[in-house]
Structure formats: structure tokens, C-alpha cells
Amino acid sequence: MAVFKVTKCPTDDLSLTNCAITNESDFPGVRHIRINTGGGQTFVFSIKAHSSVPRYHVGFSLPQRKWAVLSLNQEIGVEPYQPEEYLSSIVLEVDYMQKKTVSQEPYDSDEMAKEFVMSFPNQVFTVGQQLAFSFKDKKLLLAVVRDLEVANIVALKEGRDAKPKKARIGQLMPNTTVQFEKAETSALNLVGKSKGLQLRQSIINPDWDFQKMGIGGLSNEFNAIFRRAFASRVFPPEIVEQLGCKHVKGILLFGPPGTGKTLMARQIGKMLNAREPKIVNGPQILDKYVGESEANVRRLFAEAEEEEKRAGPNSGLHIIIFDEIDAICKQRGSVAGATGVHDTVVNQLLSKIDGVEQLNNILVIGMTNRKDMIDEALMRPGRLEVQVEISLPDEEGRVQILDIHTARMKSYKKISSDVDLSELATLTKNFSGAELEGLVRAAQSTAMNRLIKAASKVEVDPEAMEKLLVTHADFIHALKHDIKPAFGTAEEILNQCLLRGIINWGSPVTNILEDGNLLAQQARETDGSGLVSVLIEGPPNAGKTALAAQIAKNSNFPFVKVCTPEEMVGYTETAKCLSIRKIFDDAYRSTLSCILVDNIERLLDYGPIGPRYSNLTLQALLVLLKKEPPPGKKLLILCTSSRRQVLEDMEMLSAFTTVLHVPNLSKAEHLLNVLEASEVFTNAELKQITHQVHGKRLFIGIKKLLALIDMARQTDERHRVIKLITKLEEDGALEDPGMA
């Protein structure tokens, strides 16, 4: 321990820093010293260097000399000091420096707390220490340290209970809670939340609980966000500086609508003990006046900029949440028009988040369900670098979400004991969080409707309070009639394709259905790419669409989408390609997906005269049929076509995993199987038909045959058989073997 002498602080400005002043050559690289005044008394000070202080002297302000009982030219022992404890809170007793000063002007303790942290960054404080504190342009204050609590960093690292503990000495941090108490008999008028002993949260609330905050099924996503964006903010700045680590400044949450992106962002804002988050809807930024849209972006960052200039690394965290960020951050050059307003807004946002004059005290959270529309420069590291997909919840996540939305009903015993949330989670494959909430609401409305008497006037059962109970049947009713998932099965279209059912007229039908089920199983359980594409081809009216629909239904995949030419009548080539692309993009969001592409040659605008076809649509389909789904996702593609040779000429057959052929009915027994299943003809009529077709060549599609049977159904019983045979011969479906 070296011997130094006590001297005065060289300037008034330096006395307001609360630092002891040393010569530049005495303690190079040292930030804190401990002094020994004799008699076992030691005091710790943060230091600054100044050339006007003689070597082997330490300059102290008057409050410092009073606290440490120092006299000028007194000899003291001095040694470097390294703080080991970081302050979680500090309580200061304040009064006017000049006792004669009396004023009723209010002092905002919240502003004082911010000013205190910015005025004395990373300084060491001791209980009982006195210091001068200049609050803005108001009177000079005398502050005395009354109480200190330090964070238990070791416990935080080990994941144990990290409650703050009392301490005699500690280092001030940017997130230290600062509280002020008025000294006894003082005329100081303190206002604000930082007055007294009111405690505030640290940067991360240790009592954070998903269940209470209303987020379910997003634990993994939140852990990823916390690891990337917030873990560095829990540790003291010293440690972050030693790592050379920069805080993440942007998060992008993307995924299908209704999966909880906005909810997640809202709760992140609440979870952090930072400035009040600024929540901005994308379209609010845009303004019809020239330059106003860019000015709106600048205003969002103005407060953070101003604090960054004043406080530097000790600035508080400013959170800006952009909902529907794709509205203002579209790919530059993609928006039509000569104004280029969108482009300049994107440029302004890019420069503010991570431009030449970058801000380190901001966290931008963007949300979108159209990640493909956002300018790629916004998603590079340093900007919105943490990109988390908030996807459709899995079964465990659906249980959590249903549990959250039924918690209130459970607490008031308004839900029946026969409601099994695990069973409901199984039944609600591919439901988003919003759709699950809608399901609970629909079940509640069904239950309430039972207690409403709608006669000449609407009346509620007077005993509704006691009788009201949401049952399992209410949820099943809501599932069947009210809520359909956006990424679910296209049941109506499939049922329409299977209006007449599947008539098993022979072994070809059995074989195709068996092969289809095996291919669906292959798509479900394969360890490879997870892509199985099947072409179901055959002559017109052979029943290809019905068989494809049956295979899709048998697969029991949660996402089944049907892509038909009927939906795209009048579409331009580009619009048709975008529509097909969207169907495939939606399929990639589900774990198990099936796409049925019906009548593929019509989708390609094929015409035999010419021949003509849409090359743009062909190329799009070729790419999508071969594109493997994302890791962990499985996709079964079923395509139907009546023009195998055309597809072969277009080099499309190689894009399919396998090709299944659906033949026409070619034997008398095939015909009789269909006639028996139709239940239109009597046994005697069936024998007559058997006799009529014996020895003749038969070739007809199942759809054509069913149409002829429907015609025969309307015919008089005496002429029914003749009518059927005549129509078969007229259509060329039935002819003698000798006829060419």
C-alpha cells in the first residue's frame, strides 16, 4: 500500500463527479482505489485522473473529506481496488447542499434516479458515503448513501434463487434501482415512484410465468428468443465488455396468422424492465405528405438517440414493436409508382437500427406473416437478426393453450368433468392459437344458447347461473359446425369429389387404394426427404379424382388442400403460379401435408390444337413437385391426369415418385359389379344384361357408366335393360369382337 497525501479537488466540475482525483501517472488503468486513514478505517472511491493534481497526492471534495474525516496534507495509504459486488438497489437520503435554500418546487424522483445512474456510471458506493448531486439546472443536493443491496451473480449463473442481499459496498450498474428519501427536517419536495422504499423489477422479471401471461405452446420459441436477445442483458456491462459482445437489436417473429406473434411481442415488452414499449402498426408510419413517413420513423428513435448521446452505454433500453412490419419494409424496388416512398422508409429504418451512427440502446421487435415480402437487408445480423418462426402449436402446445383459455371456467366450475383437454388437443390438429381460443368461445356460446328461450321474446333461464356448464358435446358441436382451421383439411371439396363414393368394381380399384395407402405411409414415416409425389393417370371418366380424394382422406393428414383448375378460371399465368405457390407454402407450415392437384393438363392450359400450354405454370409445377419440404415436414402430392403422353412430352413424369394407372371397365364382371352396387336392376335384369354382353368387348369409364345407370333409373322398367345396352353400343363402349 503506497503512501499519498490529501489535497483539494482541482475544480468544481470534478467535485460533482463524486470521484477522487489522482495524477495521470499514479494509477494508470485503475478505476477504483481503497484508502487507509489509520486506526483500521478504510474507504473506497472511484477515481479520475487530472494533470493538475501533484503526484502521490489524491484530491477530495468537501463532502468526501467530511465522510472519510480527512484533513489537507494528511498522509493516507492507497491501493487499487476491484469491486466484486454489483448493486441491485441503492437508497439515498437527500437534502439541499445549502441549508438556507427553501423551495416547494417538486423534484421528480424518477427523473432523479435516471440522472443519478447517468451521472455516476459504474462508480463504487459505500453505506454512509456523502456526495454532491447536481440535478439538472436545479439546486445542488447533498446525498448520503443509506442502504445497499447487491445482486448474487454466482447464484444467477447457477440458476439458484438470486434474491438481492444487503451489503456495505457495491458498484452501480445501469439497471440498478435508485430510490430517494427526504432527510429529516428537510424542505425538499420529492415526488414520483422512486421516492421512499418502493422496489422495482430488474431488467428481467424473475417471477416470469407463461401460464399467468397467457402464452401457451411457445416455450421453445421463447427460450430461443431469450438466449439470443436477452441473456447478454442480464449480466453486468463489465462482463459483456470483456466478451466483446454486442446486444441484439432486432427480433423478427414470423409465422401463420393467429399463432401468437403479437401476443409474444406484447409480453416481451412487459417482461423487460425498460422504457415503456412503443407499439406501432406498420401502416401508421405511412403519410401522404412528402418526407413525413421518414420523419415518423425518426421520431420513434428520437428519445433513444437523445439518451444515447447523454448516457452512452449506460442508457436504458428502448423497445419499439412493429406490428405488420411487412407494410412498411417491402423489398425495395418492388412497389410500383415513381414516388419511391416505401424505399425511403426502409432506408430510414435500416440507418436508424444499424447505420453509421448506430444506436445500442434499442430493441426492435417486428412481426409479420409474410416474411418473403420483407427487404433482405433488414434481416442481416445487426438488424432483425433473431428470426423466430411462431408456427402452429403441436399437441402439447394445444393442451397448454386450451388450459389457459379454460382456466377461468375451471376456477368457477363452469366446465363439465367430461371435457378432456388432451382429447380436444388430438382432435384440433393444425389449429392456431387464435382458432383454439375461437373454439372455446364457440363452445361457450353453444352452452349459453341452451339456456335461452327464444319465443315471442328472448328470455334467459332464471337458473342459468347454476345450470350453465360447458360440456364435451359443446366442444364437438363447435368443432363440426363453427370453427374450421385455416391450415386444416378441405373436407367439403373432398366430399364433393366423393359424392358417389368409391365403387370397387374390380382388382384395379383395390390395388390403387392399397398402393395409395402405402405411399401415404411412406410420406408419413420416411427418414429421407419427406416428399412423395404420385401421378394418378388414366382415360377420361375413369374415376381418378375420386380415387385421389379417397387416398387423401385415408392418409388422415391434418392438412389437405385441393388445387383445381376451376378455382383459377380467368387467372393470368402469373396469378395462377402465385396461387399454386401459396398452396405449397401453406403445406410447408404443417408437419404432415397432402396436396391434391386435379386435372393437371387443364391447370397447364393444354390444348391439343397447336398444341398449346402455359410454360410459366409448367416450370412452376416442375420446381414445386421436386422441392423437398423443410426439415421435419412431410408432404404427399397427388396429381391426376388424362393425358399421360402429354406429360411425358413435357418431361413431367420424372418429377413423380411413382405413377398409378386407373383403367376403364373392360370385363363383363366389372360391369355387373357396378350394376349390383347401384341397386337399380333386378336379378332377372342382371341375368339378361349378362347374356347381352357375353362375348362382346367392353370399354367404359366408371363416371360414364354411372351416368348411363342414372338414365336407366328414370326409364320404364320394361325398357330399362334395352335402354342401357343401346346406350352402351351407341357410345362405343360395347361392341362385337369382330368389329374394327
284-324: pLDDT as tens digits: 777 767 778 888 888 888 888 887 775 555 567 788 888 88
Q: Find the distance separating the first CA and the last CA of the chain, reported in whole Å.
A: 119
Please state, in angstroms and as integers, the Cα–Cα distance from residue 323 to each residue in 282, 358, 360, following that order: 6, 23, 22
Backbone angles phi, psi at 140, to 5 degrees: -70, 135
Q: Are 183 and 364 in contact (CB under 8 A)?
A: no
| Distance (Å, whole) CA 28 – CA 21 | 13
Residues of the chain with pLDDT under 70: 99-104, 137-138, 152-162, 185, 187, 193-217, 236-238, 241, 269-270, 273-274, 282, 288, 310-315, 334-342, 357, 454-456, 464-465, 526, 528, 736-740
Backbone angles phi, psi at 397, to 5 degrees: -65, -40
Hey, what long-range contacts does 340-349 have (CB within 8 A, 24 or more apart)?
Answer: 341/286, 341/293, 344/293, 344/294, 345/285, 345/286, 345/293, 345/294, 345/297, 346/375, 346/377, 346/378, 348/294, 348/297, 348/298, 349/297, 349/378
| Distance (Å, whole) CA 258 – CA 391 | 9
What's at 478, amino acid-wise?
A: A
What ranges in 412-432 are assigned the alpha helix state H?
421-427
Buried/exposed code over 107-140 (b: 16+ C-beta within 10 A; e: otherwise): bbbeebbbbbbbbbebbbbbbebbbbbbbeeeee
Residue 199 has a pLDDT of: 35
Q: Which residues, in sequence order, are CB contacts of 291 under 8 Å at separation 6+?
A: none
Phi-psi region of 175 (alpha: psi -120 to 50; beta: other; left: phi over 0): alpha
| Distance (Å, whole) CA 612 – CA 135 | 81
Residue 156 has a pLDDT of: 61
Q: Which residues, in sequence order, are CB contacts of 309 under 8 Å at separation 6+?
A: none
Length of the chain: 740
Q: Which residues, in sequence order, are CB contacts of 105 under 8 Å at separation 6+?
A: 138, 189
CB atoms < 10 A from the CB of 466, how many?
Answer: 8
| Distance (Å, whole) CA 113 – CA 109 | 6
Residue 223 has a pLDDT of: 77
| Distance (Å, whole) CA 595 – CA 533 | 9
| Distance (Å, whole) CA 229 – CA 249 | 8
Helix H, strand E, coil C: the string for 165-199 is EECCEEECCCCCEEEEEECCCCCCEEECCCECCCC
What's at 681, amino acid-wise?
A: F
Q: What residue ranges in 369-435 does DSSP mark as E strands? A: 386-389
Q: pTM value?
A: 0.60
Taking each helix axis from N to C end, the angle separating 668-678 and 683-693, rounded to the nearest 10 degrees, works out to 160
SS3 698: strand
> Which three cell numbers, joined as nine digits, stand for 709?
345407370
| Distance (Å, whole) CA 683 – CA 505 | 18
- Which DSSP helix (H) or strand (E) runs through 672? helix 668-678
How buried is residue 74: exposed, middle or buried, by Cβ count under 10 Å (0-12/13-18/19+)?
Answer: middle
Q: Which residues, in sequence order, are CB contacts of 477 under 8 Å at separation 6+?
A: 443, 446
Look at residues 324, 348, 341, 242 and name the one whose alpha carbon lies nearest to residue 289: 341
> What DSSP string describes 285-330?
H--SSTTHHHHHHHHHHHHHHHHHHHHGGGPPPEEEEEETGGGT-B
Please count the CA atoms within 13 angstroms of the CA of 686 that sit on its side-chain side: 16
> Which three cell numbers, joined as nine digits, stand for 506?
374390380
| Distance (Å, whole) CA 117 – CA 201 | 16
DSSP β-bridge partners for residue 278: 320
SS3 344: helix
Residue 740 has a pLDDT of: 46
Residue 201 has a pLDDT of: 38
SS3 66: helix
